Every structure is written in structure tokens, then in C-alpha cells.
Amino acid sequence: QVQLVESGGGLVQPGGSLRLSCAASGIILEDYAITWFRQAPGKEREGVSCSSSAGSTYYIDSAKGRFTISRDNAKNTAYLQMNSLKPEDTAIYYCATRRGRPNGNSCWVPTLYNYWGQGTQVTVSS
């Protein structure tokens, strides 16, 4: 049974940092692409950062220079390091995986992903 479990969310002040984790079971993350999506109230779900099984990484413009996606294959866990957080980053963050090697366009399409975590809340506020 495949399961993805996110953790690491919480309440932080603007300019603060959080590190989100996505622990996988039932699959070997090394063989999957990973994307962190987020959904804010009243807005559509959007991709934040994508990491292909081949090692390529992609970021939305607003995350470049602030967020870093990575994975630890020995722990079968993916991460999203978020620095210099802004109120506009407030959302529920989801980890999703899929087989294959998505490119800079297809990695952002939620319907292409097979497995999803339950989400973790990130709130950036003074």
C-alpha cells in the first residue's frame, strides 16, 4: 500500500523558514518524480517545485531563490526547504509522486500524479 505522509508545517513569521518532509512507503522514491503542490483558500492548486527521477528540478518563479527541493533516498523521504517566507506562501502543501520523467511543463499538472499525501498547513503571519 502506497502512502505519503507530509510533516513540518506550522505558523511562522514573515522571513522565517520551514522544512517540509514527505515520507514514502510502498514505493521507492528514487524511481519517482516528486512535486510539492500547494492550495490557498479560494485558489486553485498549483505546483511549487518539481524533482524528476533523473534529478532535474523546477520551481515556480515566486519560489526561485527561496525554496529548495531535495530527497534522501536512504530515508525514502523528500523535502522542501522554504526560506524567506511570505504571507502569500500561506497554503496547504501536498507532496505528490508519479512514475516517469516529467519536463518543465508536465511536472505542474496535478492530474498526472498517482499518489498524494494528506497535506500540511503552512501559515505565514505576523
Q: Which three cell numbers stand for residue 56?
A: 532535474
59-64 mean pLDDT: 96
Buried b (16+ CB within 10 A) or exposed e, 101-113: ebeeeebbeeeeb
pLDDT at 74 over 80: yes
Check: CB of residue 64 under 8 Å from CB of residue 20: no
pLDDT digits (tens, 9 = 90+) for 11-38: 999 999 999 999 999 999 988 999 999 9
How high is the mean pLDDT of the chain? 94
In this prediction, residue 40 carries a pLDDT of 97
Q: How many CB atoms lie within 10 A of CB 37?
A: 22
In this prediction, residue 104 carries a pLDDT of 80
Q: Which three cell numbers stand for residue 75?
A: 530515508
